[in-house]
Amino acid sequence: MKFEMVMPKMGESITEGTILKWLKKAGETVGKDEIILEISTDKVDSEIPTPVPGTIVELLAAEGETVEVGLPIAVIETDAQIETSVPADERAETVDEKQHQATEAPVKKPAGTKGSAARFYSPVVMNIAAQNDISMNELGTIPGSGINGRVTKKDILAYLKTRGAKQAAAAVQTETAFFGAGEVEVIPLDNMRRKIAEHMVHSKHTSAHVSLYTEVDMNNIFHIRERNKASFKRKQGFNLTYMPFIVEATVKALKEYPLLNAEMDKDDIRIKHFYNIGIAVAVENGLIVPNVFNAEEKSLVGLARAIHDLATRARTKKLQPDELANGTFSISNFGVYGTTVGFPIINQPQVAILGVGAIKKRPVVINDAIAIRPIMYLALTIDHRLIDGAMGSRFLERIRELLEEYDPEMDI
């Protein structure tokens, strides 16, 4: 039976997608839920799995082509029984039997699953792959020493030891082989970078940007993190960072200064009484801002889990476009790269964005004495059409106070 795979519906506001790369060719076999292509929308790049196993008969859309949601992009010859209990807006019809249906939405690859050519990967291997941005396609190239060629933890760790060196050598070889002194390399602007450029210019043209900054003594939170980081890593499986504290303090401050959690709609001010906090995440070819939805309902640990999950899925192209929509306030952590101070551009249609600098030990005056403390600079960019400098300053100082008020003896 021939199955017609369509451009999937990636979110409520998404009507089309651009095919970035086909990972399989006509004539090749694919397993169910195997990643078959990468697509780009105006919000996020995503890896798309095939809904059925079988053999690719034909690729109906070329790389770089933009296709409307619901239109066919590939034909797969399959013996699989196509499920019929899916919503009408998620159905994909077969070529031979139009009455059969299959879900088109991409699914998150479960830990312990089959990949290319029905190859099984254990949860441990899948977790290591996700943490190191190894795609299913790349995972399929790793030689396995386990039963039936299965990739073991030892295999993937050994691969990671040589992976960086090989990539660096390949990059140097490409650079020196094709471009000499005085030559100009021309790189086409990809879809994500083009959209980022459009959004940034739109924001500067829309809002009256004004930036403020303050310094925060992170001593109490530093001690909380030092006391709890080992047990936290053991219980949660990932590192405790400063970001959950910053998000928690920001949400508390937003409740006290609701205009910072608003947007302007022509002659109206729309104040949001919910807190969807966008966390800027650097990805391979740009920056995206997925949201921690209803952050006010989450504990410190819950915020840590949500932030870690968003960052991991953003870097492995597992985010859904809807996770990048309906944010009410955003935070950009450029300090992770060592930058001390920066002034980010507002994420429209929001009216402010918080910039987080690197935490560095500095000499400061405390009770008329010199002390060494971990200091962090916080920057706030506000839309001066709505937020005056006085309100912006009070809001920023309130975040500082909340961060400095954490009990250094608290357990997490």
- Angle, in degrees to the nearest 10, between helices 300-315 and 243-256: 120
Give me the amino acid identity at 50: T
Q: What are phi and psi of 30, to 5 degrees?
A: -135, 150
- Dihedral, CA of residue 139, residue 143, residue 144 and residue 145, to nearest 10: -160
CA distances for 116 relative to 125, 136, 194, 242, 384, angstroms: 14, 8, 32, 38, 53
Backbone angles phi, psi at 207, to 5 degrees: -105, 150
Q: Which of 100, 199, 223, 384 is catalytic?
A: 384
CA–CA separation, 318 vs 296, rounded Å? 24
Residue type, position 64, single letter: G
**Which residue among the candidates 89, 96, 133, 388 is catalytic per the annotation?**
388
Instruction: Report the C-alpha gap between 50 and 36 in whole angstroms.
Output: 6
Does 368 qualify as catalytic in the annotation? no
Q: How far apart are CA 343 and CA 212, in angstroms?
A: 8
CA distance 59 to 49: 14
Q: Which tokens sit at 178? A: 């094709």
The span from the CA of 379 to the CA of 396, in Å, is 8
Total Cβ atoms within 10 A of residue 14: 19
Closest alpha carbon to 229 in 304, 147, 117: 304
Q: Sort strands 329-332 and 352-366 into parallel, antiparallel or unpaired.
A: parallel
Amino acid of residue 141 = T
CA dihedral sign of residues 324, 330, 335, 336: negative
308 catalytically annotated: no
Q: Do 272 and 262 contact (CB within 8 A), yes or no?
A: yes
What is the amino acid identity at position 202?
H
The count of C-alpha atoms lying within 13 angstroms of the C-alpha of 23, restricted to the half-sphere facing its C-beta, is: 22
Relative orientation angle of helices 300-315 and 219-236, to the nearest 10 degrees? 70
Cβ atoms within 10 Å, residue 125: 25
Catalytic positions, please?
A: 384, 388
